[in-house]
Amino acid sequence: MEIKKNIPNNTITRKLVDLDAQTGNIYESINIIARRANQISSELKGELNRKLADFSSPTDTMEETFENREQIEISRYYERLPKPAIIATEEFLDDELFYREGKQGK
């Protein structure tokens, strides 16, 4: 997954008017952002697990795992990435998300 460079690592105070401008409903906007954040989190976790699987072997002991410098660097890279909720919020505000309204009623 490619992360844009202009996404901040820290949280930013947002105006509610900015968040509900696209949908007209703050709760719907937050729901869209939350669902996208879950998707991003799953993608990042899958990427990390695939990269770390290259280093694992069935005979690894705890000492060997902690000493692997490349594995530590990969883990640190993913720790420094912006949180999925921040990425999803930026995507939503930049109008980069596609969503559709579900049918209301029973």
For residue range 13-31, list pLDDT tens digits in order: 888 888 888 888 999 999 9
DSSP SS3 for 99 = coil
* Residues contacting residue 84 through CB under 8 Å, at least 6 positions apart: 37, 38, 40, 41, 44
Q: What is the pTM of this model?
A: 0.77
Is 46 or 65 the better-scoring residue by pLDDT?
A: 46
Local confidence band at 37 (pLDDT 50, 70, 90 cut-offs): very high
Both tokens assigned to 47 = 């990427």
Residues 48-75 have pLDDT tens digits of 999 888 777 666 555 555 567 888 888 8
Distance CA 84, CA 81 (A): 9
